[in-house]
């Protein structure tokens, strides 16, 4: 009984220490080593488990899939610094300016394009908030609807590929799926790749954008005072050359990255290299690339990538110690004893991930929680692609939910004091309902996620 209690204490202690604000990577590793030391002294932990640690770390260093992380981060940061969002938003505003809610439609579409170009949630929310929110408020938009649409649109980078979270989930679920099959006696296991998750997330992501636009159209129709049209004297004439000049480069980049994956020409890592090169060429052609900016992009990419991989190392130690205490077997037994079987287990895991999304970043959840529950759920018969996309959708919903949603913190940081926090919370509630509806649709019709990967395999 002592090892199981130690496993529970380890997980609860981790949550408490992270809530206290300590660095995630060092907390994961340090706390796990502390509990392992206590376990060795009490005879509840076998130190031979640490014999597997060097091979795990070496495997991380040689993991070709994870190479996509710094490449996609470089691509996203380069596009952010090349001011591509400015010209995109300006062109879209010219296109939809005459419609009620035209600026909100523009923000939603530009956010979707930025999500497909960068995959970095914080950068998208802050960029759209700085660029669009002052204009929306100046033109008489309801602050709640304006901030809600910005926060929701900014989180599309969680689900629309190429998404950093899908890269990390793809790598973790690949190992979990093979582990589950081996435990089931399947010694020629099938694989799941990051490309599979990208393809599986495509239709739900596009449907989500469509539902956002449908909601905004409904508000513009039923409550036109909240989303007024831009007055004729304030509209700039639509120039097709400017519109195509703004839209064509990012669209070509998206087509090059996703098209190479969908067509089976390149893996996600190879496509990430194409994206990084394409973003650099795009910044060069726009005259936005110089040595100081390149140094800034490289430094930012290094910082983000180092954070991700340090968390991964800490999570490897945590999962090893947690497994050494018998925590994984305990979860497996608990799930199997639940009434309702796999359905109840899946709902409980999704609820736990949703709540953990308030206090943990998606990287910690991906590296800490998914390796624990993933093999158990996959042994119960869940499709790994469906599970990965559902987790991404779930985290996206969590990031929007007051009062702890990360997206709300990002937006609050660039919102003027005249807009109260309560307005932001009111504004995101309809979008949270849309997210939950999307989760229900994907749960009832899993083919929405699994059909396209099955066709293109």
pLDDT for the residue 187: 67
> What is the per-residue pLDDT across 404-437, written as a single tens digit (0 to 9) for each?
677 777 787 778 888 888 888 888 999 999 999 9
Write the DSSP string, 65-134.
Answer: GGGHHHHHHHHHHHHHHTTHHHHHHHHHHHHHTTSTTHHHHHHHHHHHHHHHHH--HHHHHHHHHHHHHH
In a domain, 18, yes or no: no
Are the CB atoms for 116 and 395 separated by under 8 Å? Answer: no
In a domain, 180, yes or no: yes
Find tokens 């930025």 and name the residue.
Answer: 114
Are the CB atoms for 317 and 33 separated by under 8 Å? Answer: yes
Where does 164-322 show beta strands of DSSP type E? Answer: none
In a domain, 333, yes or no: yes
CA dihedral sign, ordered 449, 451, 452, 454: positive
> What is the per-residue pLDDT across 124-173, written as a single tens digit (0 to 9) for each?
777 777 777 887 888 788 888 888 888 888 888 788 887 788 888 888 88
Please state the domain count of the chain.
1
Per the structure, the complete domain to which residue 219 belongs is given by 64-456
Q: How many residues does the chain have?
A: 457
pLDDT for the residue 117: 66
> What mean pLDDT, rounded, does the chain reach?
82
Closest by alpha carbon to 65, among 188, 181, 178, 175? 175
In a domain, 94, yes or no: yes
pLDDT for the residue 322: 83
Are the CB atoms for 428 and 408 separated by under 8 Å? Answer: yes
Distance of CA 342 to the CA centre of its chain: 25
- The H helix count followed by the E strand count for the chain is 21, 0
Burial state string for 175-188 with b = 16 or more CB within 10 A and e = fewer than 16: bbbbbbbeeeeeee
In a domain, 56, yes or no: no
Distance CA 457, CA 453 (A): 6
Are the CB atoms for 391 and 169 separated by under 8 Å? Answer: yes
Closest by alpha carbon to 92, among 245, 220, 221? 245
Enter the pTM of the model. 0.83
In a domain, 111, yes or no: yes
> What is the per-residue pLDDT across 230-244, written as a single tens digit (0 to 9) for each?
766 666 666 667 667
Spatial CB neighbours of 343, under 8 Å, sequence gap ≥ 6: none
pLDDT for the residue 182: 77
User: In whole angstroms, how far apart are CA 230 and each of 110, 233, 271, 273?
Assistant: 18, 8, 40, 41
In a domain, 293, yes or no: yes
Cis peptide before 162 (omega within 30 of 0): yes
pLDDT for the residue 98: 67
In a domain, 376, yes or no: yes
Question: In which residue ranges of the chain is pLDDT below 50?
Answer: none
């Amino acid at each position: 009984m002592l090892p199981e209690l130690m496993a529970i204490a380890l997980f609860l202690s981790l949550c408490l220490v992270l809530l206290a604000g300590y660095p995630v990577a060092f907390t994961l590793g340090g706390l796990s080593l502390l509990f392992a030391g206590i376990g060795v002294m009490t005879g509840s932990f076998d130190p031979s488990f640490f014999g597997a640690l060097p091979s795990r770390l070496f495997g991380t260093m040689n993991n070709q899939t994870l190479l996509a992380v710094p490449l996609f981060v470089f691509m996203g940061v380069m596009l952010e610094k090349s001011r591509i969002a400015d010209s995109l938003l300006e062109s879209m505003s010219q296109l939809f300016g005459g419609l009620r809610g035209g600026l909100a439609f523009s923000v939603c579409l530009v956010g979707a394009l930025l999500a497909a170009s960068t995959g970095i949630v914080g950068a998208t929310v802050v960029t759209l908030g700085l660029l669009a929110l002052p204009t929306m408020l100046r033109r008489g938009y309801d602050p709640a609807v304006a901030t809600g649409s910005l926060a929701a649109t900014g989180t599309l980078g969680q689900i629309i590929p190429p998404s950093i979270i899908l890269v990390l989930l793809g790598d973790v679920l690949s190992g979990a799926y093979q582990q589950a099959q081996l435990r089931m006696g399947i010694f020629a296991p099938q694989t799941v790749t990051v490309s599979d998750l990208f393809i599986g997330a495509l239709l739900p992501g596009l449907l989500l954008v469509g539902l956002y636009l449908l909601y905004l159209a409904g508000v513009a129709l039923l409550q036109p005072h909240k989303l007024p049209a831009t007055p004729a004297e304030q509209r700039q004439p639509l120039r097709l050359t400017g519109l195509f000049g703004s839209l064509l480069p990012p669209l070509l980049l998206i087509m090059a990255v996703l098209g190479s994956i969908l067509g089976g020409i390149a893996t996600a890592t190879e496509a990430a290299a194409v994206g990084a090169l394409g973003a650099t060429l795009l910044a060069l052609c726009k005259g936005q690339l110089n040595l100081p900016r390149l140094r800034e992009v490289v430094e930012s990419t290094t910082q983000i990538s180092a954070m991700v991989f340090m968390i991964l190392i800490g999570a490897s130690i945590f999962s090893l110690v947690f497994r050494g205490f018998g925590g994984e077997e305990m979860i497996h037994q608990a799930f199997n004893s639940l009434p309702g079987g796999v359905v109840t287990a899946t709902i409980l895991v999704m609820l736990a991930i949703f709540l953990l999304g308030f206090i943990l970043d998606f990287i910690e959840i991906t590296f800490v929680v998914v390796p624990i529950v993933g093999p158990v759920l996959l042994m119960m018969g869940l499709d790994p692609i469906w599970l990965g996309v559902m987790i991404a959708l779930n985290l996206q919903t969590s990031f929007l939910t007051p009062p702890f949603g990360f997206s709300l913190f990002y937006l609050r940081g660039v919102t003027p004091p005249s807009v109260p926090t309560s307005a932001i919370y009111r504004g995101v509630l309809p979008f949270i309902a849309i997210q939950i509806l999307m989760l229900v649709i994907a749960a009832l019709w899993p083919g929405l996620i699994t059909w396209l990967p099955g066709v293109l395999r």
